[in-house]
Structure 1
Amino acid sequence: MNMTPSLKRKRLRALLNAPYALQAPGIYDGYGARLVQDAGFEACYMTGNGVSAALLGRPDVGLVDLTMIADHARRVASCIDIPLVCDADTGYGNVVNVRRTIAEFEAAGVAAIHIEDQVSPKRCAQLPGDRTVLDFSSAVGKIAAASAARSDSDFVLIARTDCVGAFGIDEAVRRTRAFAAEGADVVFVELKNNPDILRQIRYLKDNVQVPMVINMDTGGAVRQLRAAELKQAGIDLAIYPALARGVFGYAMTQALNHLNTHGNIENFAQTSMFSSAQYNAALGLEDIEQWESRFDKSL
């Protein structure tokens, strides 16, 4: 790996202001991150929901703490040369905790995090029902604290609000404007699928003059947008949190059903699984072997 955390952060900032939208497929481990990089994407997104599933086998209801996810993020960020954007939930506490959250993710080599205005314990926005959020001043104060806590000015702070369900789109505009004024580089409004979602995105973009993230798992009209259409719709960073976790769940279930039904995986392995060569290539085995042969003269 050649790109330092600082260079990854600078690269992400440039991509957020590019004439095209940045697509960041969702992953939850280093293997998935390497696959995203090998596929040619310029950034990837580590979903807290997926990390909760992978590390705990539990839903995203606030069970993953700062130490767990920052340690995991360090390993993921170190195995790729593209920026890693990471879910940091509520910042894992109050404004004092947020200070440590920034320090931990910066030290982990992550390029960006998003912090949301939900109360603790949080619940994944994609679960049914509206989310309970902090009052306006507390939400803004937390983002101000996160911005002030940065030691690397290129570390990208994404301020997220989950207020739309309970308080409407105008409250989201009010909050994201205030977040940007306090130093947030990017804003992220969590939206539920509805017939007006594209109009809502444009309304937000027109009223908050900073780059904007949209969760592409929202569904409906947003999910149908192609790469060339994202920027035109007002989206600067499109994240796909469910991609890896959804594909894995489906593919693994198919493989298990095949094994259970047929008693072996012979035919399945030939058509629906990586070969050993493909798997090792994705993990960079050739690079390791070249390094080994260069310095280990006993080989």
Structure 2
Amino acid sequence: MSATPIPAESQRALTPTQLRQQLRAKLKQAQQGGPAVVAPGVYDGYGARMVQQLGFEAVYMTGNGVSATLLGRPDVGLVDLSLMSGHARRVAACVNLPLICDADTGYGNVVGVRRTIEEFEAAGVAAIHMEDQISPKRCAQLPGDRSVLPFREAVAKIEAAVAARKDDQFMIIARTDSVGAEGLAAGIARAQAFQKAGADAVFVELKAHPGLLDDLKQISAALTIPCTVNIDAGGPLLGLPATQLHTHGVALAIYPALLRNAVGFAMREALQHLQTDGHTLAAKPRQLTSKEYNDCLGLPEVENWERQFPV
């Protein structure tokens, strides 16, 4: 990660295919001993621009966060394909980074999956992950184990996703939520079947426990494609430096809750200052300045553009 903020407009815009190729190359490097790709979770374009400005190599759009911001509701299967893909299109358009997006269960059977791939591919997204939960799904970080599709049905949906894409650089990350209810061996078996079905990477959802890092090593050892991990699973992952993730078999690390929880905390704190003090002076030191805010959104570039066409 770069230590110097990078304005969103300082780099030549890449095409969706180029961004997809870029992500593939970085994940391959991680498999070969390079650092894991770190993708902070966002739920809007503002957060995505902040991620780019700070020099990260990829950005992740969390379905949980989108459900919270667009609907004000928990992640229990209320966000549909049109909401998610339309929002993804706007987020992808405002940054020059590969966007990895939560595609829930693929929004239906194999016919629905085909349309899901078409919509996210057209939106300029670099990769999606699709899970094997039954519908309506529930966020994996909510209490309890998840119910999953029968083995063959889950594999068929990944096969359909692979067959549906038009750009072979568009990445399909096959996720399984089977470990909680069926055990690690079942999760690995599904991951191996997803790999055989043509998935470009796998994502075995895990819960926090002392042996989680060993589980990750077992999963990656059983596969030849990149492995994704949700750092929000917690436990030993939380304090693991990003520079060490690849030594545990992780090629792609996503942080879905980082910004949504941090922003929620900051919003509540600022509102409490206003409620208690009757003014916002105490909150001022913990806010961006107007310049920082506008710079993040690319106002200087907009103004430079305007100056080229005086009226």
Do the two structures share a fold, i.e. TM-score over 0.5? yes
Residue identity matched to 1:174: A
Correspondence 1:44-123 to 2 at 5 A: 44-123=59-138
Q: Secondary structure at the match of 2:213?
A: helix
Structure 1 unaligned spans of 5+: none
CA distance in 1, matches of 2:160, 2:238: 33
Q: Does the 8 Å CA contact 2:105/2:134 hold for their aligned counterparts? A: yes
1:205 aligns with 2:216: no
> In 1, distance between residues paired with 2:237 and 2:262?
20
Partner residue of 2:258 out of 243, 253, 277: 243
Tell me how many residue pairs correspond in the alignment.
296
Deviation at 1:267, TM superposition (A): 3.0
Once residues 63 and 273 of structure 1 are traced to their aligned partners in structure 2, the CA distance between those partners, rounded to angstroms, is 32
Structure 2 CA distance, aligned partners of 1:115 and 1:234? 20
Tell whether 2:272 aligns with 1:252: no
Take 2:85 and 2:294, find their aligned partners in 1: how far apart are those partners? 26
Aligned twin of 1:39: 54
Deviations 1:164-187 (A, max 9, x none): 011101111111111011110000
Deviations 1:83-112 (A, max 9, x none): 000000000000000000000000000000
Shift in Å, 1:227: 1.4
**C-alpha contact 2:216 2:249 (8 A) present in aligned 1:** yes
Q: Name the structure 2 match of 1:165.
A: 180
The aligned counterpart of 1:277 is: 291
CA distance in 2, matches of 1:32, 1:73: 13
Between the aligned partners of 1:223 and 1:37, the Cα distance in structure 2 is: 22
Secondary structure of the residue aligned to 1:81 is coil
Of 28, 32, 38, which aligns to 1:23?
38
Paired position in structure 2 for 1:6: 17
User: Counterpart of 2:301?
Assistant: 287
Q: Distance in 2 between matches of 1:223 and 1:147?
A: 33
RMSD: 0.7
Corresponding residue for residue 231 of structure 2: 216
The 10-residue stretch of structure 1 (104-113 or 223-232) with the greater mean CA deviation from structure 2: 223-232
Q: Offset of 1:276 from its aligned partner?
A: 0.7
Asked whether 1:234 is paired with 2:232, we answer no
Q: So what's the TM-score if we normalise by structure 1?
A: 0.98
Query: Percent of aligned positions with the same letter in both sequences?
Result: 57
> 2: CA distance between counterparts of 1:208 and 1:168?
17
Query: Which residue matches 1:179?
Result: 194
Kindly indicate whether residue 159 of structure 2 is the aligned counterpart of residue 148 of structure 1.
Answer: no
In structure 2, give the amino acid aligned to 1:170.
Answer: A
